[in-house]
């Protein structure tokens, strides 16, 4: 049975080191929770503590079980779904590490997305309480994952002029407010809409429209971390209003924009991690 008192939702906390954002920890507890295609600008290092995690990465499907460590590379498009274990419990911990902070600290990261079964180290992720403990665990997990099984096969990177054109067009479109005409993008690449769609799906694992929506979510998340009001971030990213952004944001990341904005504010009184939930 699930532990008494364990919340059945996601919670998010961020640690600031010397006043700068460094690490973010998200705890997921709800069986059946699903995430739409998205990506993170940071390295994602996680552990499955109970139940299992179904996910796709670059169009390839995987399942992580209790005791697994996971590494998802920055910018890797993925989806996710949580299933309960035999006891009805689901617990997944993800730690997101900012690239400038990792570089300054010299933390060696895996070459790419990876998975490895290390139950003891995975279990330690549940006890992270401060930036020092999280940093130590992340170093150990990253070093272990460097020897783990790669989640993408060799040759999974885009090849060929047409593939590079399609991905570049989508990346440019994703910078705007989300008002994108896929037909126009295909014409710019001198491709039919169907060929454009096939190439995008082959290399991204999702349709052009889903990719642009995921890009809007990633941009909204960056704006919120930069201190933008939720309503302003919604308008800048092409959403009808704050409620519209909140619905999609929760579907992509598992927590609300308000929870992230609250966790992103450093506590001037201490460096104790702040936690919020939705």
Write the pLDDT tens digit of every residue in 231-267: 999 998 888 899 999 999 988 888 899 988 888 776 5
Distance of CA 169 to the CA centre of its chain: 22
| Fold entry, domain 161-263 | Arc Repressor Mutant, subunit A (1.10.10)
pTM of the full structure: 0.67
pLDDT digits (tens, 9 = 90+) for 35-59: 777 778 889 999 999 999 988 886 6
Same topology, domains 11-150 and 161-263? Answer is no
Q: Burial of 103 by CB count in 10 Å (0-12 exposed, 13-18 middle, 19+ buried)? A: exposed
Return the domain boundaries, the chain. Answer: 11-150, 161-263
What confidence tier does 1 reach under pLDDT thresholds 50, 70, 90? very low
Which CATH entry fits the domain spanning 11-150: 3.40.50.300, 2.60.40.180, 2.60.120.10, 2.60.40.1930?
Answer: 2.60.120.10
What confidence tier does 123 reach under pLDDT thresholds 50, 70, 90? very high
Q: What is the pLDDT of residue 47?
A: 95
DSSP H stretches of helix in 146-273 = 161-174, 182-188, 193-204, 208-225, 230-236, 242-253, 257-264
Asked if 210 and 216 count as a contact pair (C-beta separation under 8 A), the reply is no
């Amino acid at each position: 049975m699930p532990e008494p008192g364990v919340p059945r939702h996601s919670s998010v906390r961020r640690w600031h080191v010397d006043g700068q954002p460094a690490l973010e920890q998200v705890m997921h507890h709800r069986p059946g929770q699903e995430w739409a295609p998205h990506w993170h600008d940071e390295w994602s290092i996680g552990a499955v503590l109970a139940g299992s995690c179904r996910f796709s990465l670059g169009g390839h499907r995987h399942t992580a079980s209790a005791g697994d460590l996971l590494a998802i590379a920055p910018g890797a498009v993925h989806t996710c779904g949580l299933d309960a274990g035999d006891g009805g419990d689901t617990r997944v911990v993800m730690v997101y590490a900012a690239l400038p902070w990792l570089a300054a600290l010299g933390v060696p990261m895996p070459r790419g997305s990876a998975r490895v079964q290390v139950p003891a180290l995975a279990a330690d992720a549940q006890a992270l309480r401060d930036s020092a403990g999280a940093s130590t665990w992340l170093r150990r997990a990253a070093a272990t994952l460097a020897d783990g099984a790669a989640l993408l096969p060799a040759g999974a990177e885009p090849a060929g002029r047409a593939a590079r054109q399609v991905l570049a067009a989508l990346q440019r479109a994703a910078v705007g407010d989300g008002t994108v005409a896929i037909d126009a993008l295909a014409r710019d690449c001198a491709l039919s809409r169907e060929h454009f769609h096939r190439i995008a799906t082959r290399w991204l694992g999702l349709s052009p429209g889903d990719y642009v929506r995921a890009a809007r979510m990633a941009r909204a998340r960056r704006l919120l971390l930069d201190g933008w009001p939720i309503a302003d971030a919604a308008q800048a990213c092409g959403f009808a209003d704050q409620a519209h952004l909140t619905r999609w944001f929760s579907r992509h990341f598992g927590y609300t924009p308000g929870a992230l904005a609250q966790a992103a504010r450093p506590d001037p009184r201490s460096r104790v991690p702040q936690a919020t939930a939705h």
